[in-house]
Structure 1
Amino acid sequence: MNISKDNELALSSSVVSIGAFDGLHKGHQTLIRQMAKRARELGVPSVVYTFDPPPRAYFQNQRVLTTVQEKLTLIERLNVDYTVIANFNEHYASRPPADFITELRLLGAREIWVGSDFRFGKGKEGCVDFLSRHFHVNIHPFVTCDQGERISSTRIRKLLKNNDWLKVHQLLGRQSLETIDA
Structure 2
Amino acid sequence: MEIVNVTHPLKNNQIPGSDIVLIMGFFDGVHRGHQKVIQRGVDLARQKGLKSVLLTFDRSPREIYQHEENYKYISTMERKAELVEELGVDYLYFVEFTSEFASLPPQEFVDDYMVKMRTKYIVAGFDYTYGKKDIANMETLPSFAKGRFEVITVPEQMINDEKIGSSTIKKLILNDRVDYANELLGYSYQNQGTVVHGLQRGRTLGYPTANVVTSKSQLKPSIGVYVTRIEIDGKWYPSMTSVGYNVTFKEDTGVTIECNIFDFDEDIYGKDVRVEWLHYLRGEVKFSDADGLVKQLHKDKEDSLNYFKKH
TM-score (norm 1): 0.92
The reply to whether residue 160 of structure 1 matches residue 173 of structure 2 is yes
- Tell me the alpha carbon deviations over residues 36-65 of structure 1, each in whole angstroms, 9 at most, x when there is no partner: 000000000001110110212443424221
Residue 132 of structure 1: how far off its partner (Å): 1.3
| Higher normalized strand content (fraction of residues) | 2
Whether the 8 Å contact between 2:53 and 2:91 is mirrored in structure 1 is yes
Alpha-carbon distance in structure 2 between the residues aligned to 1:71 and 1:16: 17
Alpha-carbon distance in structure 1 between the residues aligned to 2:152 and 2:54: 14
Residue 90 of structure 1: how far off its partner (Å): 1.1
The reply to whether residue 94 of structure 1 matches residue 103 of structure 2 is yes
| Other-structure match for 2:61 | 55
RMSD of Structure 2 on Structure 1 (CA): 1.6
Structure 2: gaps of 5 or more residues:
192-217, 222-311
Which structure has the larger Rg? 2
Matched residue SS, 1:177 = strand
Q: What does residue range 68-83 of structure 1 map to in structure 2 within 5 Å?
A: 68-83=77-92
Matched residue SS, 2:15 = coil
Change beyond 3 A, Cα 1:175–1:90:
same
Matched residue SS, 1:53 = coil
Q: Percent identity?
A: 32
The reply to whether residue 115 of structure 1 matches residue 125 of structure 2 is yes
The reply to whether residue 139 of structure 1 matches residue 149 of structure 2 is no
Alpha-carbon distance in structure 1 between the residues aligned to 2:3 and 2:21: 16
Residue 148 of structure 1: how far off its partner (Å): 2.0
Alpha-carbon distance in structure 2 between the residues aligned to 1:56 and 1:155: 16
Alpha-carbon distance in structure 2 between the residues aligned to 1:57 and 1:21: 15
Structure 1: gaps of 5 or more residues:
none
Q: Which has the higher contact order (CA 8 A, sep 6+)?
A: 1
| Higher normalized helix content (fraction of residues) | 1
Alpha-carbon distance in structure 1 between the residues aligned to 2:153 and 2:90: 21
TM-score (norm 2): 0.55
Which 4+ runs in 1 deviate beyond 4 A?
Answer: none
